[in-house]
């Protein structure tokens, strides 16, 4: 897959990495330090609403999803400062905030160990000065 140039100058540095640390929108928990992930423009579908880790009666087909096109690609889950995982769907897990379980924030592919964090689901904090 090519075409990974960053379309979003606001959040990428010159090498396409995240220019700013990434935080949970709800509880402000640090998810990823700056320059740890690469911008990728790929389409990933995520449920609109929160996925409960304890849900055992959720019918996947009844969950509304949206297509998100801008993600941080994280090669290894140990790159995350804090990250939780929600329910497993096929070979993927949803990423949720480790502190408050807000999410899904993105997708984790179990077999490849790759994660995609959706830009629109997380917050950024720009350094002062």
Residues near Zn ion, by CB under 5 A: 24, 26-27, 29, 97, 99-100, 102
Exposure pattern of 97-122 as b/e (b: 16+ CB <10 Å)?
Answer: bbeebbbbbbbbeeeeeebbbbbebb
Q: Smallest gap, in angstroms, from Cβ of residue 10 to Zn ion?
A: 22
Q: Are strands 30-32 and 92-96 parallel, antiparallel or unpaired?
A: unpaired
* Nearest to Zn ion of 41, 77 (CB atom): 77
* Nearest to Zn ion of 82, 113 (CB atom): 82
* Nearest to Zn ion of 6, 97 (CB atom): 97
Give the sign of the dihedral formed by CA 71, CA 126, CA 76, CA 121.
Answer: negative
Q: Smallest gap, in angstroms, from Cβ of residue 70 to Zn ion?
A: 20
Q: Smallest gap, in angstroms, from Cβ of residue 67 to Zn ion?
A: 23
DSSP state letter for 95: E
* Nearest to Zn ion of 6, 107 (CB atom): 107
């Amino acid at each position: 897959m090519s075409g990974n140039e960053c379309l979003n100058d606001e959040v990428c540095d010159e090498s396409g990495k995240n220019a700013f640390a990434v935080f949970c929108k709800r509880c402000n928990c640090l998810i990823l330090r700056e320059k740890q992930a690469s911008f990728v423009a790929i389409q990933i579908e995520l449920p609109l609403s929160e996925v409960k880790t304890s849900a055992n009666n959720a019918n996947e087909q009844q969950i509304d999803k949206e297509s998100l096109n801008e993600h941080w690609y994280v090669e290894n889950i140990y790159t995350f400062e804090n990250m939780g995982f929600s329910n497993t769907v096929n070979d993927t897990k949803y990423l949720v905030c480790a502190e408050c379980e807000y999410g899904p924030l993105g997708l984790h592919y179990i077999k490849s160990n790759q994660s995609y964090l959706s830009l629109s689901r997380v917050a950024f904090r720009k350094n002062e000065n």
